[in-house]
Structure 1
Amino acid sequence: HQTLTARCHQCVIVTSSSHLLGTHVGTAINGAECTIRMNDAPITGYEADVGNKTSFRVVAHSSLYRVLKRPQEFVNKTPETIFIFWGPPTKMQKSLLKIIQRVCASFPNMTAYVVSPSRMKQFDDLFRGETGKDREKSRSWLSTGWFTMVIAVELCDAVHVYGMVPPSYCGRHPPPRRLPYHYYEPKGPDECTTYIHNERSRKGNHHRFITEKRVFATWAGLYNITFSHPDWT
């Protein structure tokens, strides 16, 4: 059990957004000192737009199986990748941790960390402190984007985010054109529909994507975070 102590001067976060398609920013992404990806966002077939360098991959408990099912894509292709698995302590019970351990045993060059329950609580407290909203009371889950951003701010001196839309984006008139939520699921749900539904929903567990982005906007100046494709300025 070691603690992750990596430090990067300059990081990029590659979101899983369709805004990256056709941008040809792959070379720029590969040129970054540290590159952070999320969940099961693949690189094969998308290298021109998303690059292939993967220093860190932040994976939610709900995406764990999708990532570990494809070791060819996620483990062998980029053996330098450090995996950071996160999930609410109730979800990261022994069975999931056992699976992670088993996979690490079968891939000796794989490095993986699991966010501890006390760290998970800190992520929650941070959300409450920044938004005044209690995540549990408002029946919402923090998204992988939230964890990735917090981890990036801790690991990196400067962060550039590719493909994340600004908080006001989905409320524009005329509304933005329909775009699949993930670049690798062209038939998947529309991005803004997903954001708005999640933000407004009062039932069940939802991500407060737009609230999270408002926080990121306030963090931009504090933590040297820039956004492009689309630009936030």
Structure 2
Amino acid sequence: WDAKVDAPDVKSSTPPVPRSLRPPCTPPTRRRPRPLCAKPPPLRQAPPMPPGCAARSSTQQKLRLQHRLPPGAGFRPSGRAHWTWSSEQRFVSPRRAPAFLSGSGDSSLRTTEGTDSMKARGRLLLLILCTLTFSAVYILLCCWACLPLCLAACLDRHLPVAPRPTVPGPLHFSGYSSVPDGKPLIRELCHSCAVVSSSGQMLGSGLGAQIDGAECVLRMNQAPTVGFEEDVGQRSTLRVISHTTVPLLLRNYSHYFQQAQDTLYVVWGQGRHMDRMLGGRTYRTLLQLTRMYPGLQVYTFTERMMAYCDQIFQEETGKNRRQSGSFLSTGWFTMILALELCEEIVVYGMVSENYCSEKNGPSVPYHYFEKGRLDECQMYLLHEQAPRSAHRFITEKAVFSRWAKKRPIVFAHPSWRANIVFGHQHLSLLQRLSLLQHLSLLQHLSLLQRLSLLQYLSLLPPHPRG
């Protein structure tokens, strides 16, 4: 026993340290972190783990592996069965492991913040790139939509007048393209043209023979001739058709296309219906007709010509067609085509702009081949007063009246004339002589004075159509 007592006890040589005096299991807290712009301090090794902290150290190691924390990060119990960051530097959510590091964690923090900054810059750059792309596409679409109007604005013509040839022969009319090859219209000018309206004014006129006597006869849409030959004639040199009228013609295709293949058809319509490249619905129908009847002559108004017609409407009325909610009528396109193809124009069945306000006669139907519907003046006033998507018949007739002051246009049945003030530049030599013969001034002139006057008139430059 004495030997055991005298023998040194290794285990008892070091007295046990009370738990209250033991140091904490976490490394000592560091000072507040230096700014990110400052140079980080050199890495230091963590102090050795005090005795009795092995169990908690293993728990911290699991948390580090789970949350990918560096070895220098420390934890302490939070009283809620999980661990929270022990540093007093920042607030930590108790339900999620922290990402605030100490020691070497400062460099990881800067790396994470740098990555977030790069991501934010990337998102900003992507947003700017998308904005620029959409802006460029929008500008291109606007330019594409306005291209026909810009091309038409380059034309320095106040009236749709085709250049008259110095020598007789066929002319190229680039405003009209054939189906399906897209070639321009090639034909000679017509010396006299009869433009036959579809108005009910033609009923009982008895002008069929006079209309057929013209060199070229222009008709509109589906206006028939069978059964109305005495009033409207039976010849049809050219027929101007709206894209909405093509299905109506197909109901009686044997009459319009099979028996009248010598008629030239000119169809007008908006781009989405008449588009050649995208294959509009109306254009596909016309393409099938040309395949069924190879000898059929079908032409369409080009986009440039359609834009030019809109420009003429704006120049004559001072209103933009689209903004004013107006649709150009088939009569408008027919008159523009007649001004290009014809030297002299006689219009049948078209009333003046004041006819409905000064009307005293019986009412007539809107179309001579449709009875029991609204009469002509009711239809004109209804469209003229409509705010949107309507024809401006009365406005168009006022424009035709102004055209008659500059071009040889005569309105027959009902017969009316514009207030024409002719100058010698609007008259051919034959017209000048005919006018002088009707002047009473010639009765007071001597023979020598008359010859001198006629000689002076012969020296004047002749009218292009004379």
2:296 aligned partner: 110
Q: Is the 8 A contact 1:180 1:188 kept in 2?
A: yes
Q: How many residues align?
A: 231
Shift of 1:88: 1.6
Instruction: Give distance in 2, aligned partners of 1:187 and 1:110.
Output: 34
2:311 aligned partner: 125
Q: In percent, how many aligned pairs have the same letter?
A: 39
Please show how residues 18-57 of structure 1 align to structure 2 within 5 Å: 18-57=200-239
Shift of 1:112: 0.5
2:271 aligned partner: 89
Instruction: Give distance in 1, aligned partners of 2:263 and 2:392.
Output: 28
1:198 aligned partner: 383
Instruction: Give distance in 1, aligned partners of 2:184 and 2:335.
Output: 18
1:181 to 350, 366, 369: 366
1:220 aligned partner: 404
Letter of the structure 2 residue corresponding to residue 26 of structure 1: G
Instruction: Give distance in 2, aligned partners of 1:210 and 1:186.
Output: 22
Please show how residues 161-176 of structure 1 align to structure 2 within 5 Å: 161-172=347-358, 174=360, 176=361
Instruction: Give distance in 1, aligned partners of 2:241 and 2:204.
Output: 25
Q: Is the 8 A contact 1:24 1:49 kept in 2?
A: yes
> Residue 102 and residue 22 in structure 1: after superposition, are their counterparts in 2 closer, same or farther (change >3 A)?
same
Shift of 1:5: 3.0
Query: What SS does structure 2 have at the residue aligned with 1:16?
Result: coil
Instruction: Give distance in 2, aligned partners of 1:160 and 1:191.
Output: 21
Letter of the structure 1 residue corresponding to residue 186 of structure 2: T
Q: Does 2:192 correspond to 1:10? A: yes
Letter of the structure 1 residue corresponding to residue 212 of structure 2: N
Q: Which moved more, 1:62-71 or 1:79-88?
A: 62-71
Q: Is the 8 A contact 2:193 2:217 kept in 1?
A: yes
TM superposition score normalised by structure 2: 0.49
Query: What SS does structure 2 have at the residue aligned with 1:171?
Result: coil
Shift of 1:86: 0.3
1:230 aligned partner: 414
> Residue 173 and residue 78 in structure 1: after superposition, are their counterparts in 2 closer, same or farther (change >3 A)?
closer
Q: Is the 8 A contact 1:44 1:73 kept in 2?
A: no
Shift of 1:127: 0.5
Letter of the structure 1 residue corresponding to residue 217 of structure 2: T
Q: Is the 8 A contact 1:53 1:78 kept in 2?
A: no
Instruction: Give distance in 2, aligned partners of 1:24 and 1:177.
Output: 18
Shift of 1:153: 0.3
> Residue 30 and residue 77 in structure 1: after superposition, are their counterparts in 2 closer, same or farther (change >3 A)?
farther
> Residue 27 and residue 230 in structure 1: after superposition, are their counterparts in 2 closer, same or farther (change >3 A)?
same
Shift of 1:69: 2.5
2:243 to 39, 56, 61: 61
Q: Is the 8 A contact 1:68 1:103 kept in 2?
A: no
Letter of the structure 2 residue corresponding to residue 69 of structure 1: R
Query: What SS does structure 2 have at the residue aligned with 1:223?
Result: coil
Instruction: Give distance in 2, aligned partners of 1:63 and 1:173.
Output: 30
1:207 aligned partner: 391
Q: Deviation string for 1:162-207 (max 9, x for gaps)?
A: 0001110000154x422110000011221000001111111x3100
Instruction: Give distance in 2, aligned partners of 1:109 and 1:5.
Output: 16
Instruction: Give distance in 2, aligned partners of 1:65 and 1:141.
Output: 19
Instruction: Give distance in 2, aligned partners of 1:151 and 1:222.
Output: 16
Query: What SS does structure 1 have at the residue aligned with 2:218?
Result: strand
Letter of the structure 2 residue corresponding to residue 72 of structure 1: S
Moved over 3 A (4+): none
Query: What SS does structure 2 have at the residue aligned with 1:157?
Result: strand
Shift of 1:91: 3.1
Letter of the structure 1 residue corresponding to residue 257 of structure 2: V
The two structures, once aligned, show a CA RMSD in angstroms of 1.2
Q: Which moved more, 1:215-224 or 1:73-82?
A: 73-82
Query: What SS does structure 2 have at the residue aligned with 1:221?
Result: coil
Q: Deviation string for 1:53-84 (max 9, x for gaps)?
A: 10100000111111132122212332210000
Q: Is the 8 A contact 1:42 1:73 kept in 2?
A: no
Instruction: Give distance in 2, aligned partners of 1:76 and 1:50.
Output: 21
Q: Deviation string for 1:106-162 (max 9, x for gaps)?
A: 012210001111110000001101111111111010000000000000010011000
Q: Is the 8 A contact 2:273 2:283 kept in 1?
A: no
Query: What SS does structure 2 have at the residue aligned with 1:90?
Result: helix
TM superposition score normalised by structure 1: 0.96
Query: What SS does structure 2 have at the residue aligned with 1:189?
Result: strand
